[in-house]
């Protein structure tokens, strides 16, 4: 009788452990799936770490066939939305190859000048794009945007869109990078970077005036914050 009870207790403890291991974390904390990642077929798994009641279906039971065709694409922030202009051009950009975008350069340059014209017209003066702080004139700047639209990502060294503290530029994009101010500076900042910065009677066109606020960029993987729930 005692042995029988002992067995019952053991079964209960083991079942509890199994249940806890597979349970979700009710506190919203990041947890790592472990029971289905032990490299052996156990429990009611149908293969190694797959199938059964706790693990994902085994890979050969899932349909991954078919052809998938590009509908949207993104490299650097804002390129298509800012420079393509017309809706049909935006759609064309999204369905184009990164390596085949020479035809977009002229449109991009025209849009860049249009932005200056719109503002110049409002002020009653003529404003043209001026070679930016990277030394890129309008054709070269828009060539970089159109034909080389990818994030450059350095495997060795700091990764940032631009860090004013270190001067490192175009080696990645962190969550904290103020890509809007960087882009505005490249578009409207001229050679000095401060051409239209709101000082000395100029309009403020090189910063949108917002920072990251109370966002926390110090979190571990996946680095992004939990969703806003209010």
Residues between 74 and 93 that touch another protein (CB under 8 A): 74-75, 77-78, 80-82, 84-85, 87, 90-91, 93
By CB under 8 A, tell whether 64 contacts another protein: yes
Among 16, 21, 166, 174, binds another protein (CB under 8 A): 174
Residue 119: how many other CB atoms lie within 10 Å? 15
By CB under 8 A, tell whether 142 contacts another protein: no
Residue 144 phi/psi, 5° resolution? -60, -40
By CB under 8 A, tell whether 53 contacts another protein: no
Which residue bears the tokens 């009641």? 53
Task: Mention every residue, 6+ apart, whose C-beta is less than 8 A from residue 147.
Answer: 101, 102, 104, 105
Span from 8-16, 40-48, 102-110, 140-148 in contact with another protein (CB under 8 A): 140-148
| Residue 26: CB minimum distance to another protein, A | 8
Determine the angle formed by the axes of helices 105-123 and 179-188, rounding to 10 degrees. 80
By CB under 8 A, tell whether 154 contacts another protein: yes
**DSSP designation for 28:** -
Please choose, from the candidates 187, 180, 106, the residue with its C-alpha nearest in 3D space to the C-alpha of residue 143: 106
Span from 9-17, 40-48, 102-110, 214-222 in contact with another protein (CB under 8 A): 214-222
Span from 2-10, 11-19, 40-48, 163-171 in contact with another protein (CB under 8 A): 163-171
């Amino acid at each position: 009788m005692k042995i029988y009870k002992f067995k019952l207790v053991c079964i209960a403890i083991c079942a509890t452990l199994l249940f806890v291991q597979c349970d979700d974390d009710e506190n919203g904390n990041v947890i790592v799936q472990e029971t289905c990642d032990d490299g052996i077929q156990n429990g009611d798994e149908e293969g190694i770490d797959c199938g059964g009641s706790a693990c994902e279906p085994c890979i050969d039971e899932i349909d991954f066939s078919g052809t998938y065709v590009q509908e949207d694409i993104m490299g650097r922030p804002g390129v298509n939305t800012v420079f393509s202009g017309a809706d049909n051009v935006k759609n064309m950009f999204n369905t184009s190859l990164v390596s085949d975008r020479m035809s977009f350069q002229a449109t991009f340059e025209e849009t860049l000048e249009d932005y200056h014209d719109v503002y110049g017209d409002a002020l009653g003066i003529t404003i043209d794009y001026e070679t930016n702080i990277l030394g890129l004139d309008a054709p070269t700047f828009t060539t970089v945007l159109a034909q080389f639209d990818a994030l450059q990502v350095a495997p060795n060294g700091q990764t940032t869109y631009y860090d004013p503290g270190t001067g490192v530029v175009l080696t990645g994009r962190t969550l904290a990078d103020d890509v809007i101010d960087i882009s505005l500076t490249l578009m409207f900042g001229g050679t000095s970077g401060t051409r239209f910065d709101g000082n000395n009677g100029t309009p403020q066109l090189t910063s949108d005036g917002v920072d990251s606020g109370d966002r926390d960029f110090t979190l571990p993987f996946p680095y992004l914050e939990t969703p806003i729930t209010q």
